[in-house]
């Protein structure tokens, strides 16, 4: 049961990754169909993170009121509508609106799916289970890059974008049959239903153990009293966790990951790769490395812990981005190879650390009655930073050049390294209620 639900929830990660990554190979074909300025190009690509800001807010409003499952049902439907609308868009403006709809679905599911997974998973495997969402994001990006590579000779960008409707339909049908989060059921007073779901998830536990878990969840919710408002996030007990989650997401985006995901072929061109097929093939290699190293992250996150991986990730990313900055400022085959190696190393460090850990921390740190709101604020910070990076990347590159742009990304990761050394927290192996009771950072972060 747990495996089936993890697969289903993680499918939203695949939709997330596909709809983000597919634009990389379609962009130059879209430019052949419509008149596109650098600003138009940046805004059309950035429509997804802009829509995701609204999606995160809507998910926070509805997740506690209507349940995690219903939010995911609506997300699946919106993924399908957005993909089909992108495929038939007759103008750049309508294509941007369709991408905005996809962004709303991505933002809402990026909050609801990790929350759903974190509230389903036993503590001993929660890190790997929530990281499954990040793994499926990387698989979705790789699938998008592969479809771009195969369809690019046909020049059919509409088919590229429309393919996202297929996994959306699968997710919609699957989530209709899925159970609700047991923790949400307890908050709604449906303890018997919560026990039944927990029994399916952990059949080796006795009924007494399951009842004890339900009582623990109920006690944690009761201790927080009435439904808290947004201001409760800034209380002394919760504010440190909010600061940590928001800052970590901003630093994740300032590492430049979505500039690489959205504009990988353009970066390959700047590095010296000639021809659309060569650029897309190199891009597929980056996508494959992203998937492989995310699997490594799933194997390590519950063994080594969150803090060591975060420090390791920022250090490696800073060095890799510095290598790229130097390489793209040079000419020749050697510089192209160095830039490609730097991108592979950067993606590796990101996938094993900076990619999954902010989502995991976000799903762990906030008290149960504030989890949706806390995750929403962190998600808004994530998507706002994402929007700025994706929108401004082509503009900054046109003004300062590719080398200087990657130098800025490297500096951001150096800041992230200092941040993680000073403030990174360890939450592995603890139940969400134990974290809430004070084990995790809330009292330790200034």
Tens digit of each residue's pLDDT (9 = 90 or more) over 367-414: 767 777 787 788 888 888 888 888 888 888 888 888 898 999 999 999
The H or E element spanning position 123 is none
In terms of average pLDDT, the best of 92-96, 274-278, 422-426 is 92-96
Mean predicted confidence (pLDDT) in 126-133: 70
Say what the pTM is.
Answer: 0.71
In terms of average pLDDT, the best of 98-107, 143-152, 267-276, 349-358 is 98-107
Quote the CA–CA distance of 317 and 325 in Å, as a whole number: 12
Mean predicted confidence (pLDDT) in 413-429: 84
Q: Evaluate if residue 216 carries a pLDDT over 80.
A: no
pLDDT bin (cut points 50, 70, 90) of residue 279 is low
pLDDT reported for residue 422: 87
- Specify the range with the lowest mean pLDDT, choosing from 78-87, 186-195, 231-240, 255-264: 231-240
Q: Evaluate if residue 226 carries a pLDDT over 50.
A: no
Q: pLDDT higher for 98 or 435?
A: 98
Q: Evaluate if residue 349 carries a pLDDT over 60.
A: yes
Q: pLDDT higher for 319 or 243?
A: 319
Evaluate whether the domain defined by 2-178+224-443 bears CATH number 1.20.1250.20: yes
Q: Please choose, from the candidates 425, 439, 405, the residue with its C-alpha nearest in 3D space to the C-alpha of residue 362.
A: 425
For residue 146, what are the contacts with CB-CB under 8 A and spacing of at least 6? 284, 287
pLDDT bin (cut points 50, 70, 90) of residue 319 is very high
CB 142 within 8 A of CB 287: yes
Dig out the tokens for 291 from the structure.
């998937």
DSSP 274-288: -SHHHHHHHHHHHHH
The domain locations on the chain are 2-178+224-443
pLDDT reported for residue 58: 87
- 3-class secondary structure for 388-440? HHHHHHHHHHHHHCHHHHHHHHHHHHHHHHHHHHHHCCCCCCCCHHHHHHHHC
pLDDT bin (cut points 50, 70, 90) of residue 127 is low
Q: pLDDT higher for 213 or 19?
A: 19
Quote the CA–CA distance of 278 and 273 in Å, as a whole number: 6
Q: Please choose, from the candidates 444, 354, 360, 339, the residue with its C-alpha nearest in 3D space to the C-alpha of residue 402.
A: 339
pLDDT reported for residue 80: 94
Tens digit of each residue's pLDDT (9 = 90 or more) over 67-109: 888 889 999 999 999 999 999 988 888 898 999 999 999 989 8
pLDDT reported for residue 278: 67
pLDDT bin (cut points 50, 70, 90) of residue 147 is confident
Q: Evaluate if residue 244 carries a pLDDT over 80.
A: yes
Tens digit of each residue's pLDDT (9 = 90 or more) over 47-65: 888 898 888 888 878 877 8
Q: pLDDT higher for 272 or 78?
A: 78
pLDDT bin (cut points 50, 70, 90) of residue 271 is low
pLDDT reported for residue 322: 93
pLDDT reported for residue 419: 93
Mean predicted confidence (pLDDT) in 149-157: 83
pLDDT reported for residue 440: 41
pLDDT reported for residue 230: 67
Burial-class residue 239 by CB neighbours within 10 Å (0-12, 13-18, 19+): middle
Q: Evaluate if residue 175 carries a pLDDT over 90.
A: no
- 3-class secondary structure for 306-357? HHHHHHHHHHHHHHHHHHHHHHCCCCCHHHHHHHHHHHHHHHHHHHHHHCHH
- Specify the range with the lowest mean pLDDT, choosing from 10-14, 219-223, 272-276, 418-422: 219-223
pLDDT reported for residue 282: 72
pLDDT reported for residue 114: 77
Share of the chain above pLDDT 70, in %: 86
Q: Evaluate if residue 342 carries a pLDDT over 50.
A: yes
Instruction: Look over the chain and give the mean of its residue pLDDT values, rounded to a whole number.
Output: 80
- Specify the range with the lowest mean pLDDT, choosing from 99-103, 233-237, 287-291: 233-237
Q: Which residue has the tokens 């997804």?
A: 48
């Amino acid at each position: 049961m747990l495996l089936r639900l993890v697969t289903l929830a993680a499918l939203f990660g695949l939709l997330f990754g596909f709809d983000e990554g597919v634009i990389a190979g379609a962009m130059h074909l879209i430019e052949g169909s419509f008149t596109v300025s650098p600003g138009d190009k940046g805004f059309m690509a950035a429509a997804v993170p802009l829509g995701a800001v609204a999606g995160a807010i809507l998910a926070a409003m509805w997740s506690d009121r209507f349940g995690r499952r219903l939010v995911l049902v609506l997300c699946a439907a919106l993924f399908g509508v957005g993909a089909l609308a992108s495929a038939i868009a007759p103008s750049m403006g309508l294509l941007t609106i369709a991408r905005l709809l996809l962004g709303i679905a991505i933002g809402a599911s990026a909050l609801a799916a990790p929350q759903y997974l974190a509230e389903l998973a036993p503590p001993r495997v929660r890190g790997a289970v929530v990281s499954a969402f990040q793994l499926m994001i990387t698989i979705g990006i790789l699938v998008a890059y592969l479809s771009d590579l195969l369809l690019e000779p046909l020049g059919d960008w509409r088919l590229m974008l429309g393919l996202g409707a297929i996994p959306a339909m699968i997710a919609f049908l699957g989530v209709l049959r899925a159970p609700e989060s047991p923790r949400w059921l307890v908050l709604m007073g449906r303890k018997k239903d919560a026990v039944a779901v927990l029994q399916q998830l952990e059949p080796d536990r006795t009924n007494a153990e399951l009842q004890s878990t339900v009582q623990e969840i109920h006690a944690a919710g009761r201790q927080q009293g009435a439904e808290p408002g947004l201001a409760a996030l800034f209380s002394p007990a919760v504010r440190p966790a909010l600061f940590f989650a928001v800052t970590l997401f901003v630093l994740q985006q300032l590492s430049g990951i979505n500039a690489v995901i959205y504009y990988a072929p353009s970066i390959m061109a700047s590095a010296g790769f000639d021809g659309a097929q060569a650029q897309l093939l190199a891009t597929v290699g980056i996508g494959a490395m992203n998937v492989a190293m995310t699997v490594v992250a799933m194997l390590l996150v519950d063994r080594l812990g969150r803090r060591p991986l975060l420090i390791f990730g920022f250090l490696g990313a800073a060095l890799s981005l510095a290598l790229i900055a130097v390489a793209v400022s040079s000419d020749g085959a050697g510089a192209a190879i160095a830039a490609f190696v730097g991108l592979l190393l950067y993606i590796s460090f990101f996938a094993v650390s900076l990619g999954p850990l902010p989502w995991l921390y976000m799903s762990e740190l906030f008290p149960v009655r504030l989890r949706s709101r806390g995750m929403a604020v962190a998600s808004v910070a994530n998507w706002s930073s994402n929007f700025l990076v994706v929108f401004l990347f082509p503009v900054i590159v046109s003004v300062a050049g590719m080398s200087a742009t990657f130098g800025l990304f490297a500096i951001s990761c150096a800041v992230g390294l200092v941040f993680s050394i000073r403030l990174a927290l360890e939450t592995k192996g603890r139940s969400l209620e134990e974290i809430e009771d004070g084990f995790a950072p809330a009292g330790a972060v200034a």
